[in-house]
Amino acid sequence: FVSRSAARLSQLKQHFYPSSPAILHRRSISFTPAANRSIATMAYDKELEVALLAVQRATLLTKSVFSSHSKGTLTKSDASPVTIGDFGAQALIISSIKHAFPEDEVVGEEDADDLRKDASLRELVWGLVQSAKLEDSAAEDKIGGPIPSTDAMLDALDQGNSAGGRKGRIWALDPIDGTKGFLRGGQYAVCLALMVDGVPTVGVLGCPNLPIDDKAPLDASIGADADSGEGKGVLFSAVKGQGATSRPLGKGALQPSNPISMKSISNISEATFCESVESGHSNHGDQAAIASKLGITKPSVRMDSQAKYASIARGAGDLYLRLPFAKKYEEKIWDHAAGVVIVQEAGGEVTDAWGKPLDFGIGRTLKENNGVVGAPKALLPQVLEVVKEVLSAKE
């Protein structure tokens, strides 16, 4: 065991700091090869645990909003619905991060402006936040326990204001990704990723409406009427260089995890591809054309949110296509960072539609990229070739 863990340590060093021994010295505590230290207690173990518990607590909050009568729906300027669930989940997660890592920055989708203006909305969110508690007190303590006051809740919400960037530790947070799926009882995800120097390094997705069973078949019904019930609710996670896992979404201490990996398919025509439900978010027509050129005959599986990344990472589906329209849309980093590291660690790769790596280090959006394509690493070149063919034909 000693020599195996030493070998793994050396792989990890190579992975994180291939050419920078100076940084290695500063971080040497994390990499001391101690005989009885397991991989789980090395790089980013605390970040992963805090992220998992924070996402678990926030996901439980969103479930409680869904089962309550009023979702307090507002309309944001971009016409997407935003609910008290988004505000509550963002406040809880940022307060968890700031408790454990006070120096870290957060790029969060929401802010407290609406809550500062509207007392009744603020009270609704405050009520939710107060009642969202993990059933295990040690777990609750690790993420700082309850938020102490409404002011602290508003401050936490506003701390998602980082501009992003290529230096340091920045978390990307989408408190409810797939808000439209959430409102219609379909798929949605609570998404959190730690980016280190612009690279998604730790990723967690809370998917309350996906089946726990990694092997459950993926069909069209998954996105339409998921309804959280028996056998549903999953936490996905990954740390760069350490693989990807899934575990049941619990209510207290973290449940045991299982490793996940993308399916190995010998022929691309057997692939199942995932795409957004919303026809305005990606070009369904181009996606159908690409699938047909690849010889894919199975219908696409449409679902909201980063549940698509989770579904291909666990091998339930194979490809994620998000083809852009002529009018440029800047994808938001919080819509992709967690899903990307989970797919990469499950044996996949994600690029934009032209095959460019996604650049998470230039701000709150992926402004140097256009569209998104995710696939098993070995199949990505073949998929990209067809994607470029379809895009080029339109130019």
Ligand X SMILES: Nc1ncnc2c1ncn2[C@@H]1O[C@H](COP(=O)(O)O)[C@@H](OP(=O)(O)O)[C@H]1O
User: Which residue, 85 or 211, has its beta carbon nearer to ligand X?
Assistant: 85
Check 86, 304, 318, 352 and give the catalytic one: 86
CB of 391 to Mg ion, least distance (A): 24
Instruction: Indicate which of Mg ion, ligand X, none lies near residue 278 (CB less than 5 to 8 Å, by partner kind).
Output: ligand X
Q: Write down the least CB distance from residue 172 to ligand X, Å.
A: 12
Secondary structure class of 155 (helix, strand, coil): helix
- β-strand partners of 319: 273
Both tokens of 68, joined, read: 């309550």
Beta carbon of residue 68, minimum distance to Mg ion (angstroms, whole number): 22
Is 86 an active-site residue?
yes
Closest C-alpha among 65, 72, 208 to residue 128: 65
Six-digit token string for 354: 């032209």
* Binding pattern for the stretch 176-205 against Mg ion, x by CB under 5 A and - elsewhere: -x----------------------------
CB-nearer residue toward Mg ion: 16 or 309: 309
- Pair of tokens at residue 122: 């603020």
Cα–Cα distance between 303 and 209 in angstroms, integer? Answer: 11
CB of residue 74 to ligand X, shortest distance in Å: 13
How far does CA 42 lie from the centroid of its chain? 22
Q: Taking each helix axis from N to C terminus, what angle separates 150-158 and 119-131, rounded to the nearest 10 degrees?
A: 100
In the list 110, 158, 174, 304, the residue contacting Mg ion (rule: CB under 5 A) is: 174
Positions in the binding site for ligand X (CB under 6 A): 80, 174, 177-179, 276, 278, 280-281, 304-305, 329, 332, 335
335 lines the binding site for Mg ion (CB under 5 A)? yes
Residue written as tokens 């340590």?
Answer: 9
Determine the 3-state secondary structure of 157 from DSSP: helix
Q: Is 89 helix (H, G, I), strand (E, B) or coil?
A: helix
Instruction: Return the bridge partners of 81, or none.
Output: 75
354 binds, among Mg ion, ligand X, none (CB under 5 to 8 A by kind): none
* Bridge partner list, 247: 235
Active-site hit among 59, 62, 83, 179 = 179
Residue type, 249: L
For position 110 contacting Mg ion by CB under 5 A, the verdict is: no
Taking alpha carbons only, the member of 133, 99, 96, 91 closest to residue 116 is 91
Task: Please name every residue paired with 349 in a beta bridge, in sequence order, or none if there are none.
Answer: 375
Per CB under 5 A, 331 contacts Mg ion: no
Residue nearest to ligand X (CB): 276
Q: Which residues lie below 8 Å from residue 378, measured CB to CB, with a gap of 6+?
A: none
**179 labelled catalytic:** yes
Q: Which is nearer to ligand X, 272 or 305 (CB)?
A: 305
State which H helix or E strand residue 307 sits in: helix 307-313
Q: Would you say 78 or 395 has its CB closer to ligand X?
A: 78
Q: Provide the minimum distance between the beta carbon of 203 and Mg ion in the complex, in angstroms, as a whole number.
A: 14
Q: Which is nearer to ligand X, 151 or 330 (CB)?
A: 330
Q: Which does 179 bind (CB under 5 to 8 A by kind): ligand X, Mg ion, none?
A: ligand X
The pair phi, psi for residue 266, each rounded to 5°, is: -80, -30
Q: How far is the CB of 94 from ligand X (least distance, A)?
A: 16
Q: Helices 380-393 and 284-293: crossing angle, nearest 10°?
A: 120
Among residues 323 and 386, whose Cβ is nearest to Mg ion? Answer: 323
Q: Which amino acid is at 284?
A: H
Q: Judged by CB under 5 A, does residue 345 bind Mg ion? A: no
Question: Which partner, Mg ion, ligand X, none, binds residue 280 by CB below 5 to 8 Å per kind?
Answer: ligand X
Catalogue the active-site residues.
Answer: 86, 179
Q: Which residues bind Mg ion (CB under 5 A)?
A: 174, 177, 335
